[in-house]
Amino acid sequence: MRIFLATTMIFFSLHAFAQNLELIGKAEAIKVSGSLNATAIGYTAIGINARRDPFNYFLSGTVTTDIYGVSVPLSFSYSNQQVSFRQPFNQFSIAPSYKWAKVYAGYHNLTYSSYSLVGHIFSGAAIELTPSKFRFHAMYGTLNQAVEEDTIRQSQPTYKRVGFAVKTGYGDNQNSIDLILFKAEDEINSLLQQPVKSQIAPMENLVLSAIIKKKLGDHFTWTGEIASSALTRDTRVSPTDLEKVNAFSHVGGLFTPRASTEYHHAMKTSVGYTGGVFHLQLNYERVDPGYQSLGAYFFNNDMENITVSTSVRLLQNKLDLSANVGTQRNNLNDAKLNATSRTVGNFTVNFNPSQSWNVTGSYSNFTTFTRVRPRFDPFFNNALDSLNFYQINQNMTGSVSYSFGSKEVKQGIFFNGTFQMADETPQENAPSNDSRVYTGNLAYRYSKTASNLTLTAAVNYNRGDIGTTNTLSVGPNLSVTKSFLEKKLRCTFTATYNQQFQNQILQSNVMNLRANGSYNVKKKHTFSINLVSLTKFAAETDKIGFSEYTATFNYGYSF
């Protein structure tokens, strides 16, 4: 496989170079573009110990070189906070492209499907070829670097993990098929000493996956994805017979089954209908307990999801209605003591009766039921079981906006609010532990176009009732924005005051002041300064007040 990938990438490089020769004399040979940024942050505190370093700086930049149509992007960053920083580039990556071909080298993350290679960072090389409706993707590299066990620092040892993946397919956005193969394996000899305290073992994984999209007539679409994973949790165990596993019996010796090997499956499918202003979609997903791919950092397994979503547009597209409902359950193989089922419902409305008015609202309901089976008695009576657990979460949001005024002076009034409720009941007739959360924001905005001036005044309200505890946070906000010098200089000032109470007793009293200024020079140079003052006044429960001051300077250059 390594020889194949190397040969393919060498061929692509020669092909791209040959194509570039055709552009000599017809286009600019080399084009360089990018940006550089430098940031310095100063901090001081009065009344308390400093909660951050007094000075930090950051340097970052991106450079893209285009050589006869081949684009080579490069990025770097540096900070004085990285005490272990030894060289200009922590992670080096390039991704040159030409027409329908692209090559990756260095550190990258790619996703081939939902159940195989899913955004895992690797250090190596990859290639993408997408001529017309055909596509070919391949990658090879190191997924994890070897880390020796350190009993003093309590660091987690890790074997070096190497992997490769191939994805090939044909089709467009409406009708297509893709086949994916992913392989990863830990190198047993990558650690100088076998871990003593840690129980890690070298692993091996092979995933086979297929994705299909199909348009059925003028209104229906169908998509499906299925994957099978063979995962060996300890490659030091002796091999076993592969003939018993049909899905992995024709993979050309890419995988060695052992006594510690597990085989699991995952799949999802959806059917959708779209006709005029109406849309309906049915979704189903099932992931076996224990399903895992070494090409992903985390997997939600042992679950079955069924969802239905629909939407409709009415009143000449002024009114949009959408709804989603679904169920989810785990313990698919009935092997756990706990079995959980969830029901989810969501309804959203968006109404625009005119250009001045906009009204939105949504409601969601999330219900969870968990049944815990006693360990000591498999023949328990459900009616007498005291380990049933109910949880109901409801969420409502709404917003209303009204805009008025003229072209010279624009004004607007905005309101949005939320309500969240959570009920937890150990069993059906037991007392519940409820919580309620309310939030609200009312704002007025004034904008004068000729003066490049914008004023915003707002008030915020947040309340939470959890059991016998009541919390309240309330305060005003004022913001002023003004542009000068033909909008090259932009200044903003913001003041926020907030009081927080618990059971009607003042807990905190905070004022936050911010001043920001930015200046652009010929669209290439940008200078900005941001000043922040945070003052906490003494309160009934906390008699100590303090102040913190932060100044941030930034310079940016684009070319």
Instruction: Provide the pLDDT for residue 21.
Output: 39
Is pLDDT above 80 for 190?
A: yes
Mean pLDDT (the chain, rounded): 85
Query: From CA 84, how far away is CA 21, in angstroms rounded?
Result: 43
Q: Quick one: pLDDT band at residue 390, thresholds 50, 70, 90?
A: low
Q: Which of 121, 132, 137 is nearest to 180 (CA)?
A: 137
End-to-end CA separation in angstroms for the chain = 41
More confident: 288 or 61: 288
Structure confidence by residue, pLDDT tens digits, 403-442: 999 989 999 999 999 999 987 665 555 555 678 999 999 9
pTM of the full predicted structure? 0.75
Instruction: Provide the pLDDT for residue 241.
Output: 66
Label each residue of 202-214 as H, E or C.
CCEEEEEEEEEEE
Pairing of strands 161-171, 338-351: unpaired
- Of the given ranges (91-100, 506-515, 546-555), which has the lowest mean pLDDT? 91-100
Tokens in use for 181?
Answer: 């193969």
Is pLDDT above 90 for 13?
A: no
Q: Please state the φ and ψ torsions of residue 12, each to the nearest 5 degrees.
A: -60, -45
C-alpha separations of 386 from 342, 423, 496 in Å: 19, 17, 49
Over residues 232-245, the mean pLDDT reads 77
CB environment 48-67: b (16+ within 10 A), e (fewer): eeeeeeeeeebeebeeebbb
- Give the rounded distance of the alpha carbon of 174 from its chain centre: 26
Query: From CA 344, how far away is CA 189, in angstroms rounded?
Result: 48
Q: Quick one: pLDDT band at residue 17, thresholds 50, 70, 90?
A: very low
Q: Which residue matches tokens 């090409």?
A: 295
Instruction: Provide the pLDDT for residue 89.
Output: 40
Under DSSP, the state recorded for 238 is: P
Is pLDDT above 70 for 217?
A: yes
Q: Which of 423, 421, 405, 422 is nearest to 413 (CA)?
A: 405
Is pLDDT above 50 for 35?
A: yes
Is pLDDT above 70 for 91?
A: no
C-alpha gyration radius of the chain: 30
For residue 183, what are the contacts with CB-CB under 8 A and spacing of at least 6?
163, 164, 165, 205, 206, 207, 254, 255
Tokens in use for 325?
Answer: 């409902």
C-alpha separations of 131 from 94, 110, 137, 167 in Å: 22, 19, 12, 14
Q: Which residue matches tokens 């044909």?
A: 170
Instruction: Provide the pLDDT for residue 249.
Output: 63
Over residues 81-98, the mean pLDDT reads 57
Contact of 333 with 305, CB cutoff 8 Å: no
Over residues 178-203, the mean pLDDT reads 89
Query: From CA 107, how far away is CA 75, in angstroms rounded?
Result: 11
- Of the given ranges (200-204, 312-316, 385-389), which has the lowest mean pLDDT? 385-389
Instruction: Provide the pLDDT for residue 9.
Output: 39
- Give the rounded distance of the alpha carbon of 15 from its chain centre: 37
The domains of the chain are located at 148-301, 304-439, 468-559
Q: Quick one: pLDDT band at residue 73, thresholds 50, 70, 90?
A: confident
Instruction: Provide the pLDDT for residue 418.
Output: 96
Tokens in use for 76?
Answer: 């770097």
Q: Please state the φ and ψ torsions of residue 2, each to the nearest 5 degrees.
A: -65, -45
Contact of 509 with 483, CB cutoff 8 Å: no
Report which secondary-structure segment, H or E, holds 21.
Answer: helix 2-21
Query: From CA 68, how far away is CA 82, in angstroms rounded?
Result: 37
